[in-house]
């Protein structure tokens, strides 16, 4: 079966998309740093929005190497899960069944990823004391 990628030279497309994707990546990481801790600072510590965005960006910048390792570790985990299911497909299991098995694993890994945000907050800002109501 011949695909579109087989019939066309992809190099001009890749060259055209390289700069916009780089710009997108820079903006994405800046916005991710701004919003990483902001919801928690606003919700748990009643920090004003502007200050929460600033403190989140500063905290991410001060811990940039730890976040680099954290991001690389999670990328490796998700890449490993994808490779695992690629290996399952090569064993002869239909791709539909492999995709059906991969979905719950991705949901589980995504849940663990989001649960790991709390320890990063505690490590950066210290323990969280419940607010008196």
| DSSP-assigned states of every residue in the chain | ---HHHHS--HHHHHHHHHHHHHHHHHHHHHHHHHHSHHHHHHHH---HHHHHHHHHHHHHHTHHHHHHHHHHHHHHHHHHHHHHHHHHHTT--HHHHHHHHHHHHHHHHHHHHHTHHHHHHHHH-PPPPPP-
Q: Note whether 102 and 52 are same-domain residues.
A: no
Q: Note whether 30 and 10 are same-domain residues.
A: yes
| Mean pLDDT of the region 43-56 | 92
Q: How many domains does the chain have?
A: 2
Q: Note whether 78 and 57 are same-domain residues.
A: no
- What per-residue confidence (pLDDT) applies to 96? 86
Q: Note whether 68 and 55 are same-domain residues.
A: no
Per-residue pLDDT of 71-115, as tens digits, reads: 999 999 999 998 988 888 888 888 888 888 888 999 999 999 999
Residue with tokens 């902001």: 38
Q: Tell me the Ramachandran region of residue 46: left when phi exceeds 0, alpha when psi lies from -120 to 50, beta otherwise.
A: left
Q: Note whether 51 and 75 are same-domain residues.
A: no
- What per-residue confidence (pLDDT) applies to 6? 60
Q: Note whether 71 and 56 are same-domain residues.
A: no
- What per-residue confidence (pLDDT) applies to 107? 93
Q: Note whether 118 and 69 are same-domain residues.
A: yes
Asked which of 21-25, 52-56, 96-100 is least confident by mean pLDDT, the reply is: 96-100
* Domain boundaries, position 100: 63-128
Q: Note whether 24 and 46 are same-domain residues.
A: yes
Residue with tokens 């990546």: 25
User: Over 50: is that where the pLDDT of 132 sits?
Assistant: no
Percent of residues, the chain, with pLDDT higher than 90: 52
Is-contact 55 47, C-beta < 8 A? yes
- What per-residue confidence (pLDDT) applies to 4? 56
Mean pLDDT, the chain, whole residue set: 87
**Residue 100 in domain:** yes
**Residue 124 in domain:** yes
């Amino acid at each position: 079966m011949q695909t579109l990628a087989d019939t066309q030279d992809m190099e001009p497309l890749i060259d055209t998309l390289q700069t916009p994707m780089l710009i997108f990546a820079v903006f994405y990481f800046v916005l991710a740093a701004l919003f990483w801790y902001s919801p928690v600072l606003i919700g748990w510590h009643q920090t004003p929005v502007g200050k929460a965005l600033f403190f989140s960006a500063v905290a991410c910048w001060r811990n940039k190497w730890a976040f680099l390792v954290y991001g690389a570790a999670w990328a490796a985990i998700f890449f490993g899960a994808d490779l695992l299911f690629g290996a399952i497909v090569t064993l002869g299991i239909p791709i539909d069944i492999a995709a059906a098995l991969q979905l719950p694993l991705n949901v589980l890994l995504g849940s663990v990823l989001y649960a790991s945000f709390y320890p990063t907050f505690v490590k950066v800002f210290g323990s969280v004391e419940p607010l008196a109501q």
